[in-house]
């Protein structure tokens, strides 16, 4: 089985300007409604936005390694299990043969993500 990886790191302050408007058009281009609901349910919104953005970039990198270049930020959704573990998936019917594994982390000023994609193209 083929494995590709992706990683990304993002400055959290990039998302500061969006934290008061869940309906900001720039956010809606990148994040799904459920992702925005999750991030805006948190005391500090921007680390969660930044971590998801890093996750989407990392997934796009891991897909590029397979020459897949038609997946956009909004085609990716990163939500959490009840225990907090993040789960990433592509929009319905996109590359159903691929399995995504993701880990996110954030500190005071940076958010980072690491992704593994498994499956044969
Ligand atoms: C879960 C835990 C490891 C997260 O570590 P942390 O340094 O606080 O979190 P970070 O800021 O680095 O990362 C946060 C991200 O981790 C992810 N995360 C949260 N809970 C998680 C879990 N249980 N497993 C894996 N990832 C988790 C989420 O994606 C979260 O970001 P998000 O809310 O934006 O999606 C930590 O809170 C914890 O529970 N530590 C105690 C572990 C322990 O003692 N276990 C022994 C049990 S007997």
- 82 burial (CB, 10 Å; 0-12 / 13-18 / 19+) is exposed
Looking at residue 58, its pLDDT comes to 98
- In degrees and rounded to multiples of 5, residue 38 shows phi and psi of -65, -50
Cβ 85 under 6 angstroms from ligand 1: yes
Mutate to test the pocket of ligand 1, among 105, 107, 108, 114 (most ligand atoms within 8 A of CB): 105
Mean pLDDT of 9-15: 97
Tens of pLDDT, residue by residue over 53-95, are 999 999 999 999 999 999 999 999 999 999 999 999 999 899 9
Looking at residue 94, its pLDDT comes to 94
Which atom of ligand 1 is the closest one to the Cα of 48?
34
Res. 41 pLDDT band, cuts 50 70 90:
very high
Looking at residue 46, its pLDDT comes to 97
Tens of pLDDT, residue by residue over 29-38, are 999 999 999 9
Cβ 44 under 6 angstroms from ligand 1: no
Indicate which residue's Cα is closest to atom 38 of ligand 1.
84
Going from the Cα of 113 to the center of ligand 1, the distance in angstroms, rounded, reads 13
Mean pLDDT of 103-114: 98
In this prediction the pTM is 0.94
Domains of the chain: 3-118 (3.90.470.20)
Half-sphere exposure at residue 61, Cβ-oriented, CA atoms within 13 angstroms: 16
pLDDT at residue 99 tops 90: yes
């Amino acid at each position: 089985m083929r494995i590709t990886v992706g990683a990304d790191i993002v400055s959290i302050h990039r998302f500061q300007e969006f934290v008061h408007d869940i309906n900001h058009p720039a956010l809606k281009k990148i994040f799904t409604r459920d992702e925005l609901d999750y991030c805006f349910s948190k005391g500090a919104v921007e680390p969660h936005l930044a971590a998801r953005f890093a996750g989407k970039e990392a997934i796009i990198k891991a897909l590029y390694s397979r020459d897949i270049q038609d997946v956009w930020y909004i085609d990716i959704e990163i939500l959490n299990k009840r225990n907090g573990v993040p789960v990433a998936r592509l929009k319905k019917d996109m590359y159903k043969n691929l399995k995504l594994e993701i880990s996110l982390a954030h500190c005071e000023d940076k958010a980072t993500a690491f992704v593994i994609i498994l499956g044969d193209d």
